[in-house]
């Protein structure tokens, strides 16, 4: 089926019409026909996948070995497991007929934290399952009311005959339906029932309300108002003179999104109280109660919430709110996924991005959101939050629970927004007039400039600039030094192998307390000479316990040879000795500068080595221009790297 046929099929499928009697028979067979909005949205969300975090060392540290629920419907909401679970719990409890069915679902969080995206997701999920709406002649109920509203006074009979629990029956029918019923002389069979799919576009059972000007906004944005064009034909109190265009009218049996709810005056919010508690509300004219059986979803930022919370007049309203905090993401790995998703949705997805660029931005964003820990560094805290173990590298690092307890429940409600971070990334990609590409050096520069432009409070600005200049720049200097050295070493892999082979032979003889005769020169090395030769390799890496280290490397080599038919291991196959050899090779970084720099080469050999180096850097994911920029930066900062 092509896209045009699909649209036509979906459109015609949503127009199924039946009699009230046929509808009731359908209800008897299929409870989904009269399902509440919370039940339909739960069905759209689907069953969670149970994730046993004990199977993953990173997740086990983050979630303390618990089993967590993961909802595929929210797979693009990275690092939001707790928030999503709270939202789903609201719908689950509401569907069970508990107190949540009378409460407003309120998302509170900082700007650019994902509140609007969550609201959009919930509206899209609401569109997946149909609703059944009353129809009279050619006219569909203007408030998309359930046909069960006709039986508001006959709930017991309805339950006995059709097994429809009384809690599914609206408390009243709409003034529109009441007028038609009178016109039909009480003959319910003259009504029809139509199946409709909720629609954001058509505003069928889904609507959006925003606060207007405080001076002129009134409750009509929620409850509708009289249509003055119809007053020539109907009395002002006639239901047909009323324009059912308010948010509550359009969102019946569905979802009403109220953006920045607490910016609206309290008088505008009052209809929400009766709509949630009594499942109906009054219009602006004396036309009778209008039914509402839907979900009210509101969101705003923390400052609006605090202002509303501290006003004693709002106590009744606060009691009707189910608050879910939507903090910023506090895990670097998840923040990276957010940026990668945003890049994939843009024309930048094919643009070159040097290694570490997105990771550095994610690290900056997350650190800006974290509360500064006591007796530990914010960088270590960020890594612990990301599920890393720092037992060997930072003895002062605390457990994830200690950091969380110290930070309190509001951590993640302040800092750099994802939206701001992506704007930074956009500028970095477009920083160079000759090449649309991103690299960490441009990122660090753009970040610094943008932080200064933001004119933040002095304390915050100082913190952010410290993160950029001291933490991120130094960590990146280590990383790019390692990258350049690796690309350089690969040109000299035989040199690394020679050092490794020599180290293993010397260490083995030293361990056995045997002299070693050099087969090339015939020179004899006694134990003290062997020790001196071994130390030349070990000292640059700061090996604290040479005896244990030598035994470890020797044993590793013997085991490897035994398992690989006598073949020696590669010098870089064992991380510990690999790091030692790298340090030995680069005790003096001046050795590699003539090769990696882009200055004119003094001889052909250096030129060839330079070409090999740039080729290997390109293999690692860098463009020609990025290699030049990053090498220049590395050469400028190398003196500060110790």
The DSSP 8-state label assigned to residue 328 in this structure reads P
Q: What average pLDDT does the chain have? A: 89
For residue 382, give Cα distances in angstroms to 386, 390, 440, 461, 472: 6, 11, 19, 19, 12
CB contact at 8 A, 415 and 328:
yes
Residue 15 is predicted with a pLDDT of 59
Q: Using CA atoms, how far apart are residues 41 and 61, in angstroms rounded to an integer?
A: 32
The DSSP 8-state label assigned to residue 405 in this structure reads H
**CA R_g for the chain:** 34
CB contact at 8 A, 332 and 379:
no
CA atoms in the 13 A half-sphere facing the CB of 155: 11
Distance of CA 52 to the CA centre of its chain: 20
Got the DSSP string for 472-529? Answer: IHHHHHHHHHHHHHHHHHHHTHHHHHHHHHHHHHHHHHHHHT--EE-TTT--EE-HHH
Report which secondary-structure segment, H or E, holds 536: helix 527-538
Q: Enumerate domains of the chain plus CATH numbers.
A: 3-325 (3.40.50.300), 332-483 (no CATH), 501-581 (no CATH)
Which tokens go with 273? 């109280």
pLDDT under 70 in the chain at which residues? 1, 6-15, 212-217, 490-492, 586-591, 639-642
Residue 47 is predicted with a pLDDT of 94
Backbone φ, ψ for residue 300 (5° rounding): -165, 180
Helix axes 440-453, 418-429, angle to 10 degrees: 130
Residue 607 is predicted with a pLDDT of 85
Residue 590 is predicted with a pLDDT of 62
For residue 475, give Cα distances in angstroms to 168, 356, 364, 560, 580: 60, 10, 12, 34, 20
Distance linking the first and last C-alpha atoms of the chain: 65
Q: How many separate helices (H) and strands (E) can be counted in the chain? A: 28, 17
Model pTM above 0.85: no
85 Cβ contact partners less than 8 Å away, ≥ 6 residues apart? 68, 69
CB contact at 8 A, 174 and 143:
yes
Residue 492 is predicted with a pLDDT of 64
Summarize pLDDT for 385-443 with one digit per residue, the tens: 999 988 777 888 899 999 999 999 889 999 999 999 999 999 999 998 888 999 999 99
b/e code 176-197 from CB counts within 10 Å (16+ = b): bbbbbbeeeeeeeeebbbbbbb
- What is residue 363's three-state secondary structure? helix
Q: Using CA atoms, how far apart are residues 72 and 613, in angstroms rounded to an integer?
A: 44
Q: Using CA atoms, how far apart are residues 74 and 628, in angstroms rounded to an integer?
A: 42
Summarize pLDDT for 319-334 with one digit per residue, the tens: 889 999 999 999 999 9
Backbone φ, ψ for residue 9 (5° rounding): -65, -45
């Amino acid at each position: 089926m092509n896209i045009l046929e699909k649209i036509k099929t979906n459109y015609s499928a949503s127009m199924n019409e039946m009699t009230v009697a046929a509808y009731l028979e359908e209800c008897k067979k299929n409870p989904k026909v009269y399902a509440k909005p919370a039940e339909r949205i739960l069905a759209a969300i689907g069953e969670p996948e149970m994730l046993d975090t004990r199977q993953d060392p990173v997740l086990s540290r983050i979630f303390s070995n618990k089993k967590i629920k993961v909802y595929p419907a929210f797979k693009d909401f990275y690092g939001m497991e707790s928030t999503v679970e709270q939202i789903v719990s609201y719908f689950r409890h509401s569907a069970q007929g508990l107190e949540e069915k009378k409460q407003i679902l309120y998302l509170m969080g900082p700007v650019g934290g994902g509140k609007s995206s969550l609201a959009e997701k919930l509206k899209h999920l609401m569109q997946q399952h149909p609703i059944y709406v009353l129809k009279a002649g050619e006219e569909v109920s203007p408030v998309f009311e359930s046909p069960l509203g006709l039986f508001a006074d006959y709930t017991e009979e309805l339950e006995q005959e059709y097994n429809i629990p009384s809690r599914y029956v609206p408390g009243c029918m709409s003034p529109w339906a009441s007028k038609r019923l009178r016109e039909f002389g009480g003959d319910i069979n003259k009504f029809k029932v139509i199946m409709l799919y909720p629609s954001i576009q058509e505003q069928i059972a889904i609507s959006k309300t925003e606060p207007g000007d405080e001076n002129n906004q009134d409750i009509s944005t929620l409850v509708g108002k009289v249509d003055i064009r119809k007053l020539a034909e109907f009395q002002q109190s006639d239901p047909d003179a009323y324009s059912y265009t308010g948010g509550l009218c359009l969102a019946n049996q569905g979802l009403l999104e109220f953006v920045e709810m607490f910016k609206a005056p309290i008088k505008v919010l009052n209809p929400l109280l009766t709509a949630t508690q009594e499942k109906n509300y009054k219009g602006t004219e004396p036309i009778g109660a209008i039914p509402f059986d839907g979900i009210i979803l509101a969101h705003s930022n923390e400052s609006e919430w605090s202002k509303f919370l501290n006003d004693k007049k709002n106590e009744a309203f606060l009691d009707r709110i189910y608050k879910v905090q939507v903090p910023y993401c506090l895990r670097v790995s998840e923040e990276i996924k957010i940026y990668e998703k945003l890049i994939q949705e843009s024309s930048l997805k094919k643009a070159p991005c040097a290694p570490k660029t997105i990771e550095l931005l994610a690290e900056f964003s997350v650190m800006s959101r974290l509360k500064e820990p006591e007796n530990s560094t914010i960088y270590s805290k960020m890594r612990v939050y990301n599920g890393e173990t720092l037992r060997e590298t930072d003895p002062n690092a605390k457990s994830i629970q200690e950091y969380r307890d110290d930070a309190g429940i509001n951590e993640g409600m302040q800092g750099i927004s994802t939206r701001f971070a992506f704007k930074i990334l956009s500028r970095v990609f477009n920083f160079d007039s000759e090449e649309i590409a991103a690299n960490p050096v441009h990122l660090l520069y753009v970040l610094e400039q943008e932080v200064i432009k933001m004119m933040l409070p002095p304390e915050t600005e100082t913190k952010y600039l410290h993160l950029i200049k001291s933490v991120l720049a130094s960590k990146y200097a280590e990383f790019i030094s390692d990258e350049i050295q690796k690309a350089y070493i690969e040109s000299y892999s035989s040199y690394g192998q020679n050092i490794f082979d020599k180290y293993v032979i010397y260490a083995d003889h030293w361990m056995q307390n045997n002299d070693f005769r050099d087969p090339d020169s015939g020179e004899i090395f006694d134990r003290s000479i062997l020790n001196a030769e071994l130390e030349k390799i070990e000292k640059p890496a700061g090996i604290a316990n040479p005896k244990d280290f030598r035994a470890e490397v020797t044993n590793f080599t013997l085991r490897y040879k035994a398992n690989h038919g006598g073949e020696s291991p590669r010098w870089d196959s064992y991380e510990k000795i690999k790091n030692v050899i790298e340090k030995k090779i680069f005790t003096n970084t001046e050795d590699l500068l003539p090769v990696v720099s882009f200055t004119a080469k003094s001889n052909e050999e250096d030129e060839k080595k330079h070409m090999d180096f740039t080729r290997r850097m390109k293999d690692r994911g860098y463009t020609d221009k990025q290699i030049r920029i990053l090498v220049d930066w590395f050469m400028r900062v190398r003196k500060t790297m110790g």
